Structure 1
């Protein structure tokens, strides 16, 4: 008796497709139809990140669509991280990507620079809510120990501040290191998106309404709260951090 076929491949090859009676009528409808069918194929086939999808020709046959609309739909799915197109090798199930979110936020925040900075403030509010909300988890993890890498980063910040240097790279490194032990990749990715989009706008603001020494002090206070194993102190230090950042926006508008 021959061995049973691979379950993932079988599911992919036998994924249900709509009949000609339900075919979309417009190009946009067609693209949405294809995207829906490809996502259904991934889900019903129990395919995970990195698993290969059927070939382009196989998908054309299964879905009853042409090459051009299929490629356009695949590009749209790739833009949101659902699939990954490896030219010359095929198409694979993608991994979570926040690239489209980052691009959209960056554009809106750049637009906001010419107005009332509303979108910039909104992003800052969301980031603060997320980081303050993680205080209990952070303190519960560290329990007053295991903060050596954070201490090294803060020491570097203070040394650079003493020389009048800014430390954007160390700032991002601190926040990534701070939350890495929580073992939640989405938290790291979201904070990185917020941080990068904000940092780009922050560099364009006129004037310096807080100094590198101020920024180093904010991070030192966060570190001291971890050392003391105090969620209350950590929350207070994080709020002070964001209050200090907002001072720059308030000064820009005056």
Structure 2
């Protein structure tokens, strides 16, 4: 089973760069299933699974008796596509990073406002647990990459809105590698933890204005960092 999954991922990791490199336009027909299987030297069964994954994420459309067509990926593909590209190690452009940061900001600013109104003791306990683990890891020189995601997931959960949680999860999946890089710097980890604590306190006090101010500063720090790290050729 594991080898089977790896085969599908391997095909996806080759198909997506191929589509990018060829510069297919939205609505344009791409090579057939047979041609793709021959090009990438994989079985038709594995290729079909890879194509089914791309179709589910609205990257391609398979039309009976006609062929495979590229969708308008920038406008139609699901946010899960971002997570897939990150998992496969495909490069992200400067525009993609900016869009992703704006998407995160819209979700979390609304989420923290709702959390200030709806948080429960259980929500605060979950947040406090993440903060304690984060402080312990920081003291021992360990990364806070996963704890950062855990904190923001807990914050979104405190909004009480399940769709916000599901949408925000796509961001955390897509940013895993970037978080590891960011939190390799202890200064970033210390600043992030201090801001997380301030966010927790504002949410606990139901102070929506303060929570949004802290969150905006927090997200601004991260966005500025990533925009300076981008390869100019990717913008």
What is residue 97 of structure 2 aligned with on the other side? 120
Q: After superposition, what is the alpha-carbon deviation per residue over 1:161-196, rounded to whole angstroms, capped at 9, x for unaligned? A: 122211222222222222224443321121111112
How far 1:239 sits from its partner (Å)? 0.7
Larger Rg over CA atoms: 1
Residue 127 of structure 1: CA displacement?
A: 0.4
Say whether residues 1:216 and 2:193 are aligned partners: yes
Match of 2:171 in 1: 194
**Aligned counterpart, 1:247:** 224
CA distance in 1 between counterparts of 2:148 and 2:220 reads 16
1:169 to 143, 146, 155: 146
1:102 corresponds to: 80
Once the two structures are TM-superposed, the CA of residue 250 in structure 1 deviates from its matched residue by 4.2
Please list the CA deviations of residues 123-168 of structure 1 after superposition, one character each: whole Å capped at 9, or x if unmatched: 0111011111223211111278851221121121122112221122
1 CA distance for matches of 2:53 and 2:176?
A: 28
Instruction: Determine the structure 1 residue equivalent to 2:161.
Output: 184
* 8 Å Cα contact 2:57/2:80 also seen in 1: no
User: 1:207: how far off?
Assistant: 7.7
- Higher relative CO (Cα under 8 Å, sequence separation at least 6) belongs to 2
Stretch of structure 1 that moved more, 173-182 or 101-110: 101-110
Q: How many pairs are equivalent?
A: 165
- Residues of 2 paired with 1:206 and 1:171: CA distance? 9
SS of corresponding position for 1:112: coil
CA 1:104–1:135: 2 relative to 1, 3 Å: closer
TM-superposed deviation, 1:242: 0.6
Return the structure number with greater helix share: 2
Label 1:236 to 1:150 Cα distance change in 2 as closer, same or farther (>3 A).
same
Instruction: Provide the TM-score with structure 1 as the length reference.
Output: 0.53
Which runs of 5 or more structure 2 residues have no equivalent in the other structure?
Answer: 1-28, 30-47, 59-76
- Which one of 103, 111, 117 corresponds to residue 91 of structure 2? 111
| TM-score (norm: length of structure 2) | 0.57
Name structure 1 gaps, 5 residues minimum. 1-27, 29-70, 82-98
